[in-house]
Chains A and B, each alone.
Chain A
Amino acid sequence: MTQALIELSDLGFSWPGHPPLLDIPAFRLEAGETLFLKGPSGSGKTTLLGLLGGVQTPDRGSIRLLGQELSELGAGRRDRFRVDHTGYIFQQFNLLPFLSVRENVELPCHFSKLRAQRAIQRHGSVDQAAATLLAHLGLTDPSLLERRADSLSIGQQQRVAAARALIGQPELVIADEPTSALDYDARENFLRLLFAECREAGSSLLFVSHDQSLAPLFDRNLSLADLNRAATPLEV
Chain B
Amino acid sequence: MYLFRLAMASLANRRFTAILTAFAIALSVCLLLAVERVRTEARASFASTISGTDLIVGARSGSVNLLLYSVFRIGNATNNIRWDSFEHFASNPKVKWAIPMSLGDSHRGYRVMGTTEAYFEHYQYGRQQHLELADGRAFASDPFEVVLGAEVAEALHYKLGDKLVLAHGVAAISLVKHDDKPFTVVGILKRTGTPVDRTLHISLGGMEAIHIDWKNGVPAQGNGRISADQARNMDLTPQAITAFMLGLNSKISTFALQREINEFRGEPLLAILPGVALQELWSLMGTAEKALFVISLFVVLTGLIGMLTAILTSLNERRREMAILRSVGARPWHIATLLVLEAFALALAGVTAGLALLYIGIAAAQGYVQSAYGLYLPLGWPSEYEWTLMAGILLAALLMGSVPAWRAYRQSLADGLSIRL
State the A residues within 8 Å of B (CB): 46, 49-50, 53, 55-56, 76, 79-80, 82-84, 88, 90-91, 93-99, 103, 107-108, 110-112, 164
Contacts and interface: CB of A to CB of B under 8 A. Distances in A.
Given A79-B331, A110-B2, A111-B330, A94 B419 contact: yes
Q: How large is the interface on B (under 10, 10 to 19, 20 to 34, 35 or more residues)?
A: 20 to 34
Contacts of A88: 327-328, 417
B417 A93 contact: no
A83 B329 contact: yes
Secondary structure of the B contact surface, majority rule = helix
Contact of A53 (B12, B13, B416): B416
Interface in B257-300: none
Given A96-B6, A164-B328, 9 more contacts: A79-B331, A93-B320, A98-B12, A107-B328, A108-B329, A111-B328, A111-B330, A111-B331, A112-B329
Contacts of B9: 96, 98-99, 103
A102 to B, nearest CB: 13
Contact of B327 (A90, A103, A112): A90
A98 B13 contact: yes
Contacts of B331: 76, 79-80, 111
Nearest to B9: A98
24 contacts: A49-B417, A50-B417, A50-B418, A55-B417, A56-B416, A79-B329, A79-B331, A82-B329, A88-B328, A88-B417, A90-B327, A93-B320, A93-B419, A96-B324, A96-B325, A98-B9, A99-B6, A107-B325, A107-B328, A107-B329, A111-B328, A111-B334, A112-B329, A164-B328
Nearest to A100: B9
Interface string B296-331: 000000000000000000000000110011111111
B17 interface: no
B416 A90 contact: no
A90 B419 contact: yes
A80 B334 CA distance: 12
B10 interface: yes
B328 A55 contact: no
A90 B327 CA distance: 9
B418 A46 contact: yes
A121 B324 CA distance: 26
A94 B325 CA distance: 10
Contacts of B326: 55
A83 B419 contact: no
A160 to B, nearest CB: 12
Between B325, B331, B417, the greatest number of chain A beta carbons within 10 A of the residue's beta carbon is seen for: B417
Contacts of B6: 96, 99
Nearest to B11: A98
A166 B321 CA distance: 20
A83 to B, nearest CB: 3
B15 to A, nearest CB: 10
Nearest to A83: B329
A88 B328 CA distance: 7
Interface in B8-51: 9-10, 12-13
A95 to B, nearest CB: 7
B419 A53 contact: no
Contacts of A97: 13
A110 B2 CA distance: 7
Contact of B417 (A53, A95, A96, A112): A53
A224 B419 CA distance: 20
A74 to B, nearest CB: 11
Interface in B330-347: 330-332, 334
Nearest to A76: B331
B320 A55 contact: no
B419 A55 contact: no
**Top 9 A-B pairs ranked by shortest CB distance?**
A83-B329, A111-B329, A55-B416, A98-B13, A107-B328, A88-B327, A79-B331, A108-B328, A98-B9
Nearest to A46: B418
Interface in B374-421: 416-419
Contact of A80 (B12, B327, B329): B329
Contacts of B321: 96
Contacts of B327: 53, 88, 90, 94
A235 B280 CA distance: 88
Contacts of A110: 2, 329
A97 to B, nearest CB: 7
